[in-house]
Structure 1
Amino acid sequence: MNSVIPAPIARQPWQMLIPLFILVGFGGAVLYSAGGGNFQPFASSHLLRFAIFMIMACIMVWFSRDVVKFAAYPVYALVLVMLVGVEAMGAIKGGSQRWLEFGGLRIQPSELMKPVIVLALAQFYSSLPAGMIGSWRAIAPAGALVAAPVALVLLQPDLGTSLAIVFCGVVVMFLAGLPMKWFVGGGLVGAVAVPLAYFFALQDYQQRRVTTFLDPESDPLGSGYHITQSKIAIGSGGLSGKGFNEGSQSHLNYLPEPHTDFVFATMAEEWGLLGGLLVLLIFGLIMSWGLQVARTAHDRFAKLLAAGMVATMFFYVAINLMMVMGLAPVVGIPLPFMSHGGSSMMTNMICIGTLMMINRWNREQKRSGFI
């Protein structure tokens, strides 16, 4: 086959790219339906954004290890400055101040911080001597790297993104080999802090999200409306769904945000359980490939970076699916590669581009004999 297919095409990771293209195309079909049977305004921009960010990912593939390691802290500092800029002059939308606007371009720096915190921590732990992993020098600087953006994102306020940054940071710390007692201690502190945070740190609308999660039927037409309608849409799809472009919950405007946070409910109503299983299968294929890239990486930096990028995508998928099925509070986390939204597409394509880049590093090192 190598004599028929050009080498640059043959060596691409098609075991990941083909499922990814199928998922994005399926997402475009769901957004076509969410738009009332029109490519505008959701499906066309979704596919265009993917094409643009796919080009970005292909460019990222050619970055060298030295360049990426050198850029880790400067990129982290740049995104942190952008988060400060959000507080100073950020655009307000839906009651939250999360965006920076440059002409016609709108950027959400908190989304960029998800993969960037993985990059910064991977560089930190790859340069930390092995003998210091069990000391405070392994946790204090890393904790500061995580705490600074989390504090700024909480001011926006954006609890979901804050949790995502913490999750990605903790995953990299765990994989770096920090003592288990620190994670157990952190879990105990978190268990004590959660009720205190609920009463003294969360805003009123965030408290309502928690109570709604615990008992959505208590206010089905108010705070529980989103999750109630999502459950109805998913349940009404049955095994094979109502049919493409035949969803009543989204078309009759019962389901809020059918093209963003609740796109899975839109899909499940029309494609049923079989459609949902297909989506889960594709995500499984993409992430299993990402974990394989992490396992076959030849140095600590690449392993931590690849695993952290998989963790970032996993957080998106897990929280979104739990949210739309009533297993987690509604925190505004979109579904990767299916939800309409430029910021989430950018973040997840950065993860894909980083994994493709590390896959190239692995291939080149294998070819050089460093196995």
Structure 2
Amino acid sequence: MIKIDRRLFENFDIILMLFICLVCTMALFNLYSASYPPKAYGTPAYIRQSYFFLMGFGVFLFLISFDYQELHSWNYPFYVLIVALLIFVYFAGAKAGGAQRWINLGFFKLQPSEPAKLMLVITLASFYSRKEVVDGYSITQLVIPVLLTALPFLLILLQPDLGTALMLGIIFVSMTVFVKLRMSTYLTMGGLALVLGVFAWEKVLKPYQKQRIQTLFSPDNDPMGHGYQVLQSKIAIGSGGKFGKGYLEGTQGHLHFLPERHTDFAFAVWGEEWGFAGSLIFLGIYFMMLLWGIHVAMEAKDRFGVLLAYGVVMLIFWQAVINLLMILGFLPVVGIPLPLVSYGGSSLLTTMLGLGILMNVRMRRFQNLQPEP
């Protein structure tokens, strides 16, 4: 039920909104350059992304109209819906590049694994806020959240989409450690992670996925094959120097040396054109937005609000860190986008939904909210 309260408008977070608008504006300018010169056919990527931004701000405004407490009741229907979509994708999803990850809706292709990440944040926040444990969670008390994480994890892994599946694991670990664990739980989880890691390397990972990890340590051994993306990305960023080559003047991107320059490697385009100084400004604004998100979590009125805000920040933070380390050659190329910056409708809409939840928590931070007469 939509609730209108004057105090909600008074608590609208202008600073958070300013950060979001700044990042979105820089992202669109960068996407225009990444897709320049435009092709003679089809709608340019920056135009399509502009539509997604408008849709994103629409769902953002819609979401802040509702009290985030209602997500407690929406939580499991949302979970069932996303799992159902992931199952549908497995059997009848659209294919591209050897993967089966999308549902063709006509006007755009929905990738259910993207909202699955936000769904997991909401699900874990709801569970941990309802099942608070003073002396820390034991391993048996984590069985339900582990199962809730494992089901979408396995469905996404089957697509195959190792990067997004790992993001679910990272979200689970981030939120679970945040709510406090017993020391025995840490030791058990660490041991299980080690065993599962060895098992995954031997039995689960496909040869091309192993090759990506091996290429991380020696990209020069296959400069025209598996190491090509990382080498070209490092060349693009390094060639930007202190102040960059200038807007629309990047050669690595515009001459098509840099692959996936509008998606996974979008920041490499920015680094080449704006240089070290411009990159610092961009990253400063981006991570200040996330730091402000932590501030929102600290001032939330209840445990559910704290966990929601923290989970959303971790969702964006880890994707950003992994993407940046990936294009710098410090992590394998696993297809993790830079939220708000990389092209992609599903990723952008999911991020805007998450930021809408963050604003929702901020607007309702005052204690003991009572309807005005």
2:257 and 2:348 map into 1 onto residues whose CA distance is 26
| SS of the residue 2:103 aligns to | strand
After TM superposition, give the deviation of residue 331 of structure 1 in Å: 0.5
* Alignment partner of 1:159 out of 159, 162, 172: 162
CA contact 2:261–2:268 (8 Å) conserved in 1: yes
Equivalent residue runs for 1:332-371 within 5 Å: 332-363=335-366, 365=367
* Alignment partner of 1:147 out of 147, 150, 156: 150
- 1:243-264 per-residue CA deviation (whole Å, 9 max, x = no partner) reads 1100100111100011110011
- 1:291-336 per-residue CA deviation (whole Å, 9 max, x = no partner) reads 1111111211111111011000011100000000001000011111
CA contact 1:138–1:178 (8 Å) conserved in 2: no
| SS of the residue 1:358 aligns to | helix
**Match in the other structure for 1:308:** 311
**Match in the other structure for 1:31:** 31
- 1:228-254 per-residue CA deviation (whole Å, 9 max, x = no partner) reads 000000000001000110010011110
* 1:245 and 2:255 are equivalent in the alignment: no
After TM superposition, give the deviation of residue 180 of structure 1 in Å: 3.8
- 1:200-252 per-residue CA deviation (whole Å, 9 max, x = no partner) reads 21111101110111111110011100000000000000010001100100111
| SS of the residue 1:261 aligns to | coil
**Match in the other structure for 2:73:** 70
2:356 and 2:152 map into 1 onto residues whose CA distance is 23
1:96 and 1:301 map into 2 onto residues whose CA distance is 36
| SS of the residue 2:291 aligns to | helix
* 1:231 and 2:234 are equivalent in the alignment: yes
CA contact 1:226–1:256 (8 Å) conserved in 2: yes
Q: Closer, same or farther in 2 for the Cα pair 1:298/1:248, shift >3 Å?
A: same
For structure 1, which segment, 210-219 or 28-37, has the greater mean C-alpha deviation from structure 2 after superposition? Answer: 28-37
Q: Closer, same or farther in 2 for the Cα pair 1:129/1:308, shift >3 Å?
A: closer
**Match in the other structure for 1:274:** 277
2:282 and 2:161 map into 1 onto residues whose CA distance is 27
* 1:321 and 2:324 are equivalent in the alignment: yes
Could you state the TM-score of these two structures normalised by the residue count of structure 1? 0.92
- 1:61-98 per-residue CA deviation (whole Å, 9 max, x = no partner) reads 12124421111111111111111111111111111011
CA contact 2:138–2:184 (8 Å) conserved in 1: no
- 1:335-368 per-residue CA deviation (whole Å, 9 max, x = no partner) reads 11111111110121111011011112214x3766
CA contact 2:236–2:268 (8 Å) conserved in 1: yes
CA contact 1:261–1:335 (8 Å) conserved in 2: yes
* 1:95 and 2:102 are equivalent in the alignment: no
* Alignment partner of 2:51 out of 43, 48, 51: 48
Q: Count residues in correspondence.
A: 363
For structure 1, which segment, 37-46 or 76-85, has the greater mean C-alpha deviation from structure 2 after superposition? Answer: 37-46
CA contact 1:37–1:245 (8 Å) conserved in 2: no
CA contact 1:128–1:138 (8 Å) conserved in 2: no
**Match in the other structure for 1:3:** none
Cα RMSD of the aligned pairs, angstroms, is: 2.1
For structure 1, which segment, 156-165 or 39-48, has the greater mean C-alpha deviation from structure 2 after superposition? Answer: 39-48
Q: Closer, same or farther in 2 for the Cα pair 1:129/1:222, shift >3 Å?
A: closer
For structure 1, which segment, 136-145 or 257-266, has the greater mean C-alpha deviation from structure 2 after superposition? Answer: 136-145
* Alignment partner of 1:130 out of 128, 133, 138: 133
1:27 and 1:136 map into 2 onto residues whose CA distance is 42
Unaligned runs of 5+ in 2: 1-5
Q: Closer, same or farther in 2 for the Cα pair 1:55/1:255, shift >3 Å?
A: same
CA contact 2:298–2:306 (8 Å) conserved in 1: yes
* 1:212 and 2:240 are equivalent in the alignment: no
Percent of matched pairs sharing the same residue: 37
Unaligned runs of 5+ in 1: 1-5
Q: Closer, same or farther in 2 for the Cα pair 1:143/1:232, shift >3 Å?
A: same
- Amino acid corresponding to residue 26 of structure 2 in structure 1: F
**Match in the other structure for 2:84:** 81
For structure 1, which segment, 222-231 or 104-113, has the greater mean C-alpha deviation from structure 2 after superposition? Answer: 104-113
1:329 and 1:89 map into 2 onto residues whose CA distance is 29
- 1:260-280 per-residue CA deviation (whole Å, 9 max, x = no partner) reads 100111110000011211121
Could you state the TM-score of these two structures normalised by the residue count of structure 2? 0.92
2:277 and 2:267 map into 1 onto residues whose CA distance is 12
Q: Closer, same or farther in 2 for the Cα pair 1:192/1:66, shift >3 Å?
A: closer
CA contact 1:61–1:357 (8 Å) conserved in 2: yes
Q: Closer, same or farther in 2 for the Cα pair 1:207/1:58, shift >3 Å?
A: same
* Alignment partner of 2:302 out of 299, 306, 309: 299
* 1:22 and 2:31 are equivalent in the alignment: no
| SS of the residue 2:95 aligns to | strand
**Match in the other structure for 2:206:** 203
After TM superposition, give the deviation of residue 191 of structure 1 in Å: 2.8
1:7 and 1:129 map into 2 onto residues whose CA distance is 30
CA contact 1:20–1:282 (8 Å) conserved in 2: no
Q: Closer, same or farther in 2 for the Cα pair 1:165/1:89, shift >3 Å?
A: same
**Match in the other structure for 1:261:** 264
- 1:159-197 per-residue CA deviation (whole Å, 9 max, x = no partner) reads 100111111111111122222432343223323432432
2:336 and 2:181 map into 1 onto residues whose CA distance is 29
- Amino acid corresponding to residue 337 of structure 2 in structure 1: P
